[in-house]
Amino acid sequence: MAQIIIVGAGPTGAALALLLVKRGIAVTLIEAAKDFHRVFRGEGLMPSGLDALEQMGLSALLEQIPHRPLSAWEFMIEGKQLFRVEEPMGATRPCTLVSQPPLLKALISEAELNDEFEFIQGLPVKDLLWSNQRVAGVILSDGRQISADLVIGADGRNSIMRERAGLKLVRQPKNIDVLWFKLAASPQFADDNVFRTIVNGDRAFSIFHGAEAGKLHLAWVISANEKTDYKQANWGEIFASLSPSWLAEHFRNYADTIESPIKLSVVVGRCPQWHTPGILLLGDAAHPMSPVRAQGINVALRDVIVAANHLVPLLQAKAGYQEIDLALSRIQAEREPEIIRAQQLQLEEARQRQQLNNPLLRSLLVQLAPLLRKIIKHSWLKRQYKMREGITRVHLTV
pLDDT in tens, 377-395: 888 888 888 889 999 999 9
pLDDT of residue 171: 93
Phi, psi for residue 239 in degrees, rounded to 5: -65, -40
Which pLDDT does position 35 carry in this prediction? 85
Confidence at residue 174, expressed as pLDDT on a 0 to 100 scale: 72
Is the alpha carbon torsion for 9, 15, 16, 19 positive or negative? positive
Determine the average pLDDT of the residues in 1-12: 91
| Chain centre to alpha carbon of residue 152 | 18
CB atoms within 10 A of CB 116: 18
Give the pLDDT confidence of 181-195 residue by residue, as tens digits.
999 998 888 889 999
Reported confidence tier of residue 18, pLDDT bands at 50, 70, 90: very high
pLDDT of residue 364: 75
* Bond before 88 cis per omega within 30 degrees: yes
User: What pLDDT score does 139 carry?
Assistant: 98
- CATH number of 2-37+100-171+268-349: 3.50.50.60, 1.10.8.60, 1.20.120.420, 3.30.470.10? 3.50.50.60
- Read off the pLDDT of residues 226-236 as tens digits, 9 standing for 90 and up: 777 777 899 99
> What is the longest distance spanned by two Cα atoms in the chain?
67
Architecture of the domain delimited by 176-265: 2-Layer Sandwich (3.30)
* Higher pLDDT among residues 127 and 221, named by residue: 127
What digits encode the pLDDT tens for the residues 300-311? Answer: 999 999 999 999
Q: Are 89 and 381 in contact (CB under 8 A)?
A: yes
- Is this model's pTM higher than 0.75 or not? yes
Predicted confidence at residue 246, as pLDDT, reads 92
Residue in 297, 343, 289 with CA at minimum distance from that of residue 50: 297
pLDDT at 41 over 70: no
Residue 137's alpha-carbon distances to 9, 128, 181, in angstroms, are 17, 6, 39
Per-residue pLDDT, 86 = 95
DSSP classification of residue 255: G
Task: Residue 82: name the closest of 161, 199, 239, 213 by CA.
Answer: 199
What pLDDT is attached to residue 265? 79
How far apart are alpha carbons 210 and 276 in whole angstroms? 38
Per-residue model confidence (pLDDT) at position 175? 67
Give Cα separations from 325 to 76, 242, 260, 298, 329 (angstroms): 50, 54, 46, 25, 7
Question: Which of 42-46, 81-85, 364-368 is the least confident region?
Answer: 364-368
- What is the rounded CA–CA span in Å between residue 38 and residue 32? 11
* Gyration radius (Cα) of the chain, Å: 22
Question: Where do the structural domains in the chain lie, given as residue ranges?
Answer: 2-37+100-171+268-349, 176-265
CA 356 – CA 319 distance, rounded (Å): 55
Q: In this predicted model, what pLDDT tens digit does every residue of 133-175 receive, in sequence order?
A: 999 999 999 999 999 999 999 999 999 999 999 999 999 877 6
d(CA 107, CA 85): 33
Region of poorest pLDDT, from 32-36, 214-218, 303-307, 356-360: 356-360
Average pLDDT value over all residues in the chain? 91
CB contact at 8 A, 5 and 137: yes
CA angle 283, 156, 341 (to 5 degrees): 35
Cα 154 from Cα 283, distance rounded (Å) = 6
- State how far the alpha carbon of 242 is from the alpha carbons of 11, 249, 261, in Å: 35, 11, 18
Mean pLDDT value of segment 317-329: 97
